[in-house]
Chain A
Amino acid sequence: MTTTSTVVNARLDAPVVPSRWTKFRFFVLRLPILQLSVLLALILWLVISIPAFVNRLSIVSVLILAALLALAALGQTFVVLIGGLDLAIPGYIIVGAFISSNLAGGAGWPIPLALLMTVVICGLVGAFVGFVSHRYNVQPLVLTLGINAALVGGTLFVAKANFTSAPPDALRALTAINGTTFGLPIPPILLIVLAAVVLVWLFLTRTASGRRLYATGTNARAAELTRVHTGKVWTLTFATSGITAGIAGMFIASFSAGWSANIGEPYFFTGLAAVLLGGTTFGSIHGSYTRTVLGALILTLLSTIVLSVGMSESESRIIYGFVVIAAAFLYGRERHVRNRF
Chain B
Amino acid sequence: MEKRGQPLLQMAKIEKNFGATRALVEANIELFPGDVHTLLGENGSGKSTLVKILGGVHQPDSGKILLDGADLTLRSPRGASHYGIETVFQEVLTASHQSVLQNIWLGSDGIFRRRFKTATQRQQATEVLERLLGDAQLDVPAAELSLSARQAVSIARSLVRRPRVLILDEATAALDVQTRDRLFNEIRRLTAQGSAVLFISHRMDEVAEISDRVTVLRSGQTISTVTRETMTISGLIQDMTGSKVSPEESFKPPREPGKVVLQARDIQLAEQATKINVDIRAGEIIGLCGLEGHGQDLFIRRLSGFAGGPGSVSRLEVEQNNSATPVGRRNAAGLGVAYLPRERRGESLFEQMSIQENFVLPTMRQDKIGPFLSRKRMAARFREYIQSLSIKLGSPDDSITTLSGGNQQKVLLARWLATEPSVLLLNDPTRGVDISTKLEIYRTLQDLALQGTAIVVLSSEVDEIVQLTDRALVFRDKTVFAELAGKDLHQQSIVTAYFGQEMEVQYE
Task: Give B1-33 as 1s and 0s: 1 = Cβ < 8 Å from A's Cβ atoms.
Answer: 000000000000000001111110100000000
Q: Are B22 and A11 in contact (CB under 8 A)?
A: yes
Q: Are B352 and A218 in contact (CB under 8 A)?
A: yes
Given the known A-B contacts A8-B220, A227-B362, are A284 and B352 also in contact in the complex, defined by CB atoms under 8 Å? yes
Q: Are B350 and A215 in contact (CB under 8 A)?
A: yes
Interface status of B83 (Cβ within 8 A of chain A): no
Interface with A: B117-125, B367-375, B432-440, which one? Answer: B367-375
Q: Are B20 and A211 in contact (CB under 8 A)?
A: no
B27 to chain A, nearest CB (A): 12
Task: Give B341-364 as 1s and 0s: 1 = Cβ < 8 Å from A's Cβ atoms.
Answer: 100001111111100010011101
Q: Are B58 and A8 in contact (CB under 8 A)?
A: no
> In the complex, what distance in Å separates the CA atom of A15 from the CA atom of B20?
10
Interface status of A158 (Cβ within 8 A of chain B): no
Interface status of A207 (Cβ within 8 A of chain B): yes
Q: How large is the interface on B (under 10, 10 to 19, 20 to 34, 35 or more residues)?
A: 35 or more
Interface status of A56 (Cβ within 8 A of chain B): no
Residues in B with CB closer than 8 Å to A338 are 52, 57-58
Residues in A with CB closer than 8 Å to B333 are 227
Residue in A206, A219, A228, A341 whose CB lies within 8 Å of B372: A206
Interface status of A1 (Cβ within 8 A of chain B): yes
Given the known A-B contacts A222-B350, A225-B341, are A16 and B394 also in contact in the complex, defined by CB atoms under 8 Å? yes
Given the known A-B contacts A207-B372, A218-B353, A225-B347, are A4 and B364 also in contact in the complex, defined by CB atoms under 8 Å? no
Interface status of B95 (Cβ within 8 A of chain A): no
Given the known A-B contacts A218-B351, A340-B401, are A9 and B361 also in contact in the complex, defined by CB atoms under 8 Å? no
Q: Are B22 and A12 in contact (CB under 8 A)?
A: yes
Interface status of B201 (Cβ within 8 A of chain A): no
Residue in A15, A207, A222, A285 whose CB lies within 8 Å of B348: A222
Q: Are B57 and A337 in contact (CB under 8 A)?
A: yes
State the total of A-B contacts with C-beta under 8 angstroms. 98
> In the complex, what distance in Å separates the CA atom of A338 from the CA atom of B60?
12
Q: Are B362 and A226 in contact (CB under 8 A)?
A: yes
Residues in A with CB closer than 8 Å to B23 are 341
> In the complex, what distance in Å separates the CA atom of A229 from the CA atom of B330?
8
Residue in A8, A207, A285 whose CB lies within 8 Å of B221: A8
Task: Give B364-397 as 1s and 0s: 1 = Cβ < 8 Å from A's Cβ atoms.
Answer: 1100100111000000000000000000001000
Interface status of A202 (Cβ within 8 A of chain B): yes
> In the complex, what distance in Å separates the CA atom of A207 from the CA atom of B364?
9
Residues in A with CB closer than 8 Å to B306 are 225
Q: Are A341 and B242 in contact (CB under 8 A)?
A: no
Q: Are B347 and A211 in contact (CB under 8 A)?
A: no
Given the known A-B contacts A207-B373, A338-B57, A341-B49, are A222 and B20 also in contact in the complex, defined by CB atoms under 8 Å? no
Residues in A with CB closer than 8 Å to B329 are 224
Interface status of B415 (Cβ within 8 A of chain A): yes
Residues in A with CB closer than 8 Å to B357 are 211
> In the complex, what distance in Å separates the CA atom of A258 from the CA atom of B25?
70
> In the complex, what distance in Å separates the CA atom of A12 from the CA atom of B18?
12
Interface status of A238 (Cβ within 8 A of chain B): no
> In the complex, what distance in Å separates the CA atom of A224 from the CA atom of B221?
40
Most buried by A among B218, B351, B365: B351
Interface status of A208 (Cβ within 8 A of chain B): yes
> In the complex, what distance in Å separates the CA atom of A18 from the CA atom of B20?
8
Q: Are B219 and A9 in contact (CB under 8 A)?
A: yes
Q: Are A5 and B394 in contact (CB under 8 A)?
A: no
Q: Which residue of B lies closest to A208 (CB)?
A: B364
Please give the residue numbers on chain B whose beta carbons come within 8 Å of chain A beta carbons, in ascending order. Answer: 18-23, 25, 48-49, 52, 57-58, 218-221, 223-224, 242, 306, 329-330, 332-333, 339, 341, 346-353, 357, 360-362, 364-365, 368, 371-373, 394, 401, 415
New A-B contacts (18) at CB < 8 Å, excluding given A223-B361, A338-B57:
A1-B223, A8-B25, A15-B394, A22-B19, A202-B372, A208-B364, A208-B368, A208-B373, A211-B360, A218-B350, A225-B347, A226-B348, A227-B333, A227-B362, A284-B352, A285-B352, A337-B57, A341-B23
The 10 closest A-B pairs by CB, nearest first: A208-B364, A206-B372, A16-B20, A285-B352, A227-B362, A226-B361, A8-B219, A218-B352, A225-B341, A218-B350
30 A-B residue pairs with Cβ-Cβ distance under 8 Å, sorted by A, are: A5-B221, A5-B223, A8-B22, A8-B219, A8-B221, A12-B22, A12-B220, A16-B394, A202-B372, A207-B371, A207-B372, A208-B365, A211-B361, A212-B361, A215-B350, A215-B353, A218-B350, A218-B351, A219-B349, A222-B350, A224-B329, A225-B347, A226-B361, A227-B332, A227-B333, A284-B352, A285-B353, A338-B52, A341-B23, A341-B48
